Structure 1
């Protein structure tokens, strides 16, 4: 019996889980088609997993606005099929979701019970996936909502900022979107704990503390210089979201209330500045 199967091999989260649990089986789109019942059954049955972490999703936020069918296929239909398999085989499912299921206007941290009111297609499809999990196996699953995820692996805001800071004479970064950065390693630890506990329910997981993208960029630059990843400081200017229009509306406020996670998880919640520093050490 395989202790843990992770769906979404190419992503930041699966990469971190694989580092923490080397005997976990990570499956990518070449290994399993989660939109197909037969592929799910044929691939997972020989592995007989005790738990599955679904770290796969359609995450192209702007593209989802014009590619609704594929966004729903991966974020709702495939999730329902995985949940149904887990129900039939008595497998615990950890499903990773997002701050985008909320409307982004609350102004104080969102609790797990707050009204689901996504503003864009990505959020709507992720909310639909959550509803499938809750409807199909409520006692046998954990939904973990997170935000602003980054890692030393893959493409993300931190690595993009470091590249731009090395190449550009100056930068403008949005300062009216507020949230909490999340190092994928800490999120991976929380997902593993939920899977092996198991811990059922809906939880919020991000690093502690709150910032704007502008604040985050300033911290990235300071850490990059301190650790020798950047040669020199460039001017970084705060700009409003209106100066950088995108097809999908971004939440202005997406801080998640982590009260339930603090009381249920042994994995510690750590401030985002400390986590950023630890991740930057990996890039050195």
Structure 2
């Protein structure tokens, strides 16, 4: 029987990964259970497992601008520790990365082999984590980049829009950042499918298909909730100045799935509708 270790198991994605692994032998460790920056603790935790799925991450993008060392410890050093331990114990490592490893200046989807060029501290730490993991365990590491995550078990943009709808008649959302809203339920199942298929190690892009802006995403959320999307007005990024610059274009290409003989994830509107139908937002409305 294949034995799985899930790190970052208490988070939004980690909890959906556990659901996707239902019925299998799983060790689920949250931040309180395993500090991935502790190489010795990581080696001990990986013993006896065949697959490690790393959902642990420092994701406070703005805070990372002034706490880059803290972000690096988790996103880079922690990921490297997991890769080294997985290599030592002949386990596969699936580690989740981000669209923020790119600069956001492209006009067509980023290919998996596109050179990394992050524009903020968070992106730099995630890019370093990718590089270190692939170097430490090249034949057994799967880097799966994702973006614009939403789901049942954590704070996210879609849930925020539903909360705003309870207290505001109208509000503005940026329309000049383009990306791929991605349901953690779909991503979790894709990560498991990747391992099950014994696909080649390397970089994959785990986002739902298609593209939209945050404004388009917000409107879709309200429509599916049975609310009037006209309550939201478009604006541009200058209206929301934040410490960390955001990529303007974060659409990821999915060619690696076909090369591995796997289907890419479905388009984002279909995934969002399925998330609503599953009750993912029941407690957030």
Residue 27 of structure 2 corresponds to residue 25 of structure 1: yes
Aligned match of 1:207: 208
**Partner SS state of residue 5, structure 2:** strand
The 2-side partners of 1:79 and 1:181 are apart by 24
Deviation at 1:43, TM superposition (A): 2.8
The 1-side partners of 2:261 and 2:244 are apart by 33
**Partner SS state of residue 71, structure 1:** helix
Aligned match of 1:41: 43
Gaps of 5+ in 1: none
The 2-side partners of 1:26 and 1:139 are apart by 24
Higher mean C-alpha displacement, 17-26 vs 106-115: 17-26
Q: Which runs of 4+ in 1 moved over 4 A?
A: none
Deviation at 1:169, TM superposition (A): 1.3
Counting matched residue pairs gives 277
Aligned match of 2:234: 238
Aligned match of 2:114: 114
Deviation at 1:268, TM superposition (A): 4.9
Counterparts of 1:225-264 in structure 2, within 5 Å, are 225=226, 230=227, 235-264=231-260
Deviation at 1:176, TM superposition (A): 0.2
Aligned match of 1:12: 12
Deviation at 1:30, TM superposition (A): 1.6
Deviation at 1:267, TM superposition (A): 5.0
Aligned match of 2:144: 144
TM-score (norm 2): 0.93
Gaps of 5+ in 2: none
Deviation at 1:233, TM superposition (A): 5.6
Aligned match of 1:133: 133
Residue 267 of structure 2 corresponds to residue 271 of structure 1: yes
| Contact 2:71–2:122 (Cα < 8 Å) also in 1 | yes
Residue 176 of structure 2 corresponds to residue 176 of structure 1: yes
Root-mean-square deviation over aligned CA pairs = 1.5
The 1-side partners of 2:258 and 2:184 are apart by 18
**Change in CA separation of 1:156 and 1:236 when aligned onto 2, cut-off 3 Å:** same
Aligned match of 2:156: 156
The 2-side partners of 1:101 and 1:14 are apart by 21
**Change in CA separation of 1:108 and 1:234 when aligned onto 2, cut-off 3 Å:** closer
Aligned match of 1:197: 197
**Partner SS state of residue 274, structure 1:** helix
| Contact 1:190–1:265 (Cα < 8 Å) also in 2 | no
Deviation at 1:197, TM superposition (A): 3.0
The 2-side partners of 1:247 and 1:253 are apart by 18
Residue 212 of structure 2 corresponds to residue 216 of structure 1: no
The 1-side partners of 2:236 and 2:245 are apart by 13
The 1-side partners of 2:75 and 2:114 are apart by 21
The 1-side partners of 2:229 and 2:180 are apart by 24
| Contact 1:98–1:123 (Cα < 8 Å) also in 2 | yes
**Change in CA separation of 1:179 and 1:128 when aligned onto 2, cut-off 3 Å:** same
Deviations 1:211-253 (A, max 9, x none): 000000110110011xxxx5x6662110000111010000000
